[in-house]
């Protein structure tokens, strides 16, 4: 049996994770250690967030590196199968059979997760209730609005009460009221599970996440608590132009909020260190 990265039986342990898409290095020797709680994954477009979530969801293999999820080594077939039963995953774009109702679609995912048949009907109703769609259980998914379909995507990720929940841009398309409710749901889930949320909305992180990981050009640029990133923003120069083009800035309703300044300051410090290292 291969040596373990850590002794923990929960959370995420990643060592030397590299992901290449042809010649593009999407992740470059990433080290991560995440435990129970809600973890925000931030970073500019193309930073490598989706590549990371896809590898953690076991839908894409790493090019190099070791990954332990819930104490299990996902390079081993049996352990990977066990992890898949216990994780929930919302991809950035998810597909469904057009003829499925919400109930049928979420039940289908429960079946894929090999949940005991007797527990499925109640689990499906509970997951759909949690995303505020109880009244639409028997509606066809294709008849729902984009935001509602996104919530169905969140429901399918929750149906097995996962120990590890991976959400790629879950709030994209949600209206403000739904976003507020969803962030409360995230906090509730993070009390007992490891939840990783990739988002462009700094408010998602500020309100729902205890910890932040900032990725830039495939590397971890910052790891810390949401409070420490906000604090970093409190000491940063609010007039500083930041880490680069406006596309580097996360979306926020308050462009000069302390956490956004913290994001920009952390990114700039990381890039300065990378430049110094090259000199
Ligand atoms: N299938 C692919 N083939 C080639 N390159 C890819 C592929 N998928 C991703 N990439 C590249 O890998 C890098 C990381 O992409 P990734 O989608 O992981 O970033 P991201 O942080 O999720 O971006 P965004 O915030 O825009 O969703 C980018 O340079 C991207 O162009």
Looking at residue 118, the DSSP 8-state letter turns out to be G
Ligand 1 atom closest to the CA of 27, numbered from 1:
14
Residue 244: which of 212, 221, 213, 226 has the closest Cα?
Answer: 221
pLDDT for position 239: 54
Which domains, ranges and CATH numbers included, belong to the chain? 12-278 (3.40.50.300)
Instruction: Please tell me the residue having the least CA distance from ligand 1 atom 31.
Output: 46
Looking at residue 23, the DSSP 8-state letter turns out to be T
Residue 110: which of 159, 63, 151 has the closest Cα?
Answer: 159
Ligand 1 pocket (Cβ < 6 Å) reads 21-22, 24, 26, 43, 45-51
Instruction: Please tell me the residue having the least CA distance from ligand 1 atom 6.
Output: 21
130-172: pLDDT as tens digits: 999 999 999 999 999 999 999 999 999 999 999 999 999 999 8
List the chain residues with pLDDT less than 50: 1, 241-247, 252-254
pLDDT for position 4: 61
CA distances from 145 to 136, 149, 226 (A): 11, 6, 32
Q: CB-based contacts of 193: which residues, under 8 Å, 6+ apart?
A: 36, 162, 163, 164, 165
pLDDT for position 96: 83
Instruction: Please tell me the residue having the least CA distance from ligand 1 atom 8.
Output: 21
Instruction: Please tell me the residue having the least CA distance from ligand 1 atom 4.
Output: 21
65-81: pLDDT as tens digits: 999 999 999 999 999 99
Q: How far apart are CA 201 and CA 209, in angstroms?
A: 12
pLDDT for position 82: 96
Q: DSSP readout, 200-250?
A: SBHHHHHHH-SEEEEEETTEEEEEEEHHHHHHHHHHS-TT---SSSGGGSP
Ligand 1 geometric centre to CA of 26 (Å): 6
- 4: enclosing H helix or E strand: none
Two structure tokens written together for 179 = 């976003």
User: Which of 24, 60, 168, 213 to mutate to test ligand 1, by most ligand atoms within 8 A of the CB atom?
Assistant: 24
Predicted TM-score (pTM) of this structure: 0.91
List of E strands, 63-125: 64-69, 72-73, 87-90
Ligand 1 geometric centre to CA of 48 (Å): 6
Instruction: Please tell me the residue having the least CA distance from ligand 1 atom 27.
Output: 45
Q: CB-based contacts of 264: which residues, under 8 Å, 6+ apart?
A: 233, 236, 240, 242, 243, 248, 249
> For residues 77 and 186, is the Cβ–Cβ distance under 8 A?
no
Q: Indicate the burial class of 2 (C-beta count within 10 angstroms; 0-12, 13-18, 19 or more).
A: exposed
pLDDT for position 88: 97
* Helices 258-278 and 226-235, axial angle in degrees (round to 10): 80
CA distances from 206 to 21, 40, 93, 227, 267 (A): 32, 9, 24, 8, 17
> For residues 29 and 16, is the Cβ–Cβ distance under 8 A?
yes
Residue 11: which of 224, 193, 243 has the closest Cα?
Answer: 193
């Amino acid at each position: 049996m291969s040596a373990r990265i850590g002794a923990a039986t929960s959370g995420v342990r990643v060592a030397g994770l590299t992901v290449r898409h042809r010649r593009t290095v999407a992740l470059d020797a990433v080290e991560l250690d995440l435990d129970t709680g809600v973890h925000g994954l931030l970073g500019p477009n193309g930073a490598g967030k989706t590549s990371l979530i896809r590898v953690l969801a076991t839908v894409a293999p790493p090019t190099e590196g070791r990954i332990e999820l819930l104490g299990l080594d996902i390079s081993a077939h049996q352990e990977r199968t066990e992890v898949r039963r216990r994780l929930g995953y919302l991809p950035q774009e998810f597909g469904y059979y057009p003829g499925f109702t919400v109930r049928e679609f979420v039940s289908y995912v429960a079946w894929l997760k090999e949940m005991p048949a007797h527990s499925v009907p109640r689990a499906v109703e509970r997951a759909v209730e949690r995303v505020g769609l109880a009244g639409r259980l028997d509606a066809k998914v294709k008849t729902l609005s984009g935001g509602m379909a996104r919530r169905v995507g969140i429901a399918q990720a929750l149906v097995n009460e996962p120990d590890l929940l991976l959400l790629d841009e879950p709030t994209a398309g949600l209206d403000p009221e739904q976003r507020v409710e969803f962030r409360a749901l995230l906090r509730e889930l993070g009390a007992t599970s490891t939840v990783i949320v990739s988002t462009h909305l700094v408010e998602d992180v500020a309100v729902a996440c205890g910890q932040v990981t900032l990725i830039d050009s495939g590397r971890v640029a910052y790891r810390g608590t949401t409070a420490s990133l906000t604090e970093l923003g409190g000491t940063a120069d609010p007039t500083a132009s930041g880490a680069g083009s406006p596309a580097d800035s996360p979306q926020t309703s308050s462009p000069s909020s302390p956490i956004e300044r913290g994001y920009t300051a952390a990114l700039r410090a990381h890039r300065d260190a990378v430049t110094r290292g090259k000199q």
